[in-house]
Amino acid sequence: MQEDVRVERGGSAALGRVEGNLSADKDATIEAADGGKVTVAGSARFRGDCTVNCDLECRSLRVEKGTLKIAGNLQVHGDADIANALYVDGSIVAADGIIAVGGTVKAGSVKCRIIKVGGTLEVSDTLDAESVKVGRKMVSQRARLVDLNVGGQAEIGSGAVQGQIKVGGTFQSKSELEFDSISVGGKVELGTGMGRSIKVGGRLATTGDLTCEEIKVGGIVEIGGNCSGEILEVGGETKVFGSLVLTGKLGVGGDLQVRDALTGTDMRVGGRFSGSKAMLAGRAWIGGQVETSAGLKAGGEIKISPHAECKGPLVGGTVELGKRCKVQDVYGSKVVVGKGAEAEKIVADEIEIHDDGTVGQATYTRRLETGRNAVCRNPPEKTASLAAFPL
């Protein structure tokens, strides 16, 4: 026969195994009769602030108002419903159940199927769950999750999220993180990361390497190591303190700085580009200055905007220099020098120098056209073939 146990308001009880249900009123304190654990075969129900000074195991848990403090571990075989707050010194295990908390959860570790917290979730060790949904803030040292949804701020030391990470404000991971997709309204800060997609409204920063197929950021990107993927689209400035390797589109609205080599297909930069060298299979369009130590090479077209200044060789299929820009050595099948532009050396099959353009040395195989007041400081040289281009 099942026997229920009730602890009155402000009372205390030393319990072992409860064959029925357990209920406790406000300010009740529960101890373990043997100093170890209280086991409840049925449900455990608390009304108001209560304290359990041992491990607690129950079929289901319900806390009405107040805060439940457990100085040990909590194991729930079903669901846990807490109106306000739950503080557990050790672990929370509800492997097949749902944990729903209106306010705050603090625990050493958590393992469950689904956890929903209206306010703050703090886990000092490992958070292991299929779905985590938090209204304000989530902090966990390690995470093994399928999906994470946080309204405000989320911080993970390290771990893996198989599905989507969705955060309204700021997301931070201090060490290694594996993920499928990250969608954050404000700021993302990572240690090292590997995933499929990152979309950030504000700023993306890493202290180490980042491997991600698609990166789209509205504001600023700063990668502390190497960056590789397919697509990188950034509204503002981008800095990569290593190499940048892309198989698809590269679009940066502001300046792009790459400490080592850039390898990709197409590149469009609204501001200044600097790097050791850039190797592109497709086209390059640069809105500002270009500065490389080894050069910029594109299999297709290179376009340099008006008034820009370029340091380092440019090697492309067709190279177009905007009006009044200044460049050093240019190589291509066709090079067009805009009005008033200056180039130190051009080597190409076809060269067009528009009005007021200036070229130090011109070497070509098929055609040279010059506009009004165009200047070649040295006599142009026509040859049967061109030497191999650099890069």
- 320-365 pLDDT, tens digit per residue, is 999 999 999 999 999 999 999 999 999 999 999 999 999 999 999 9
For residue 347, tell me if it sits in a domain: yes
- Percentage above 70 pLDDT, the chain: 99
Positions in the chain whose pLDDT score sits under 50: 1
Residue-level pLDDT at 2? 65
In the numeric block, which tokens belong to residue 237? 């400035």
Residue-level pLDDT at 100? 98
For residue 126, tell me if it sits in a domain: no
Q: How far is CA 8 from CA 17, 48, 364, in A?
A: 18, 12, 99
For residue 289, tell me if it sits in a domain: yes
Total of domains in the chain: 1
Contact 295, 391 (CB under 8 A): yes
Range of the domain at 332: 272-390
Residue-level pLDDT at 1? 46
Q: How far is CA 54 from CA 51, 57, 74, 256, in A?
A: 9, 10, 9, 57
Residue 158 carries which side chain, given as an amino acid letter? S
Residue-level pLDDT at 273? 98
Residue 64 carries which side chain, given as an amino acid letter? E
Alpha-carbon Rg of the chain, whole angstroms?
32
Instruction: Report which DSSP code applies to 390.
Output: P
For residue 384, tell me if it sits in a domain: yes
Contact 162, 146 (CB under 8 A): yes
Contact 77, 93 (CB under 8 A): no
Q: Residue 78: how many CA atoms within 13 Å on its side-chain side?
A: 12
Contact 363, 380 (CB under 8 A): yes
For residue 337, tell me if it sits in a domain: yes
∠ Cα 127 224 313 (to 5°): 150
In the numeric block, which tokens belong to residue 160? 């893996």
For residue 343, tell me if it sits in a domain: yes
Residue-level pLDDT at 327? 98
For residue 38, tell me if it sits in a domain: no
For residue 130, tell me if it sits in a domain: no
Strand partners, 325: none
DSSP string over 154-203: EEEEEEEEEEEEEESSEEEEEEEEEEEEEEESSEEEEEEEEEEEEEESSE
- Average pLDDT of the residues of the chain: 97
Contact 86, 103 (CB under 8 A): no
Whose structure tokens read 């093994």? 144
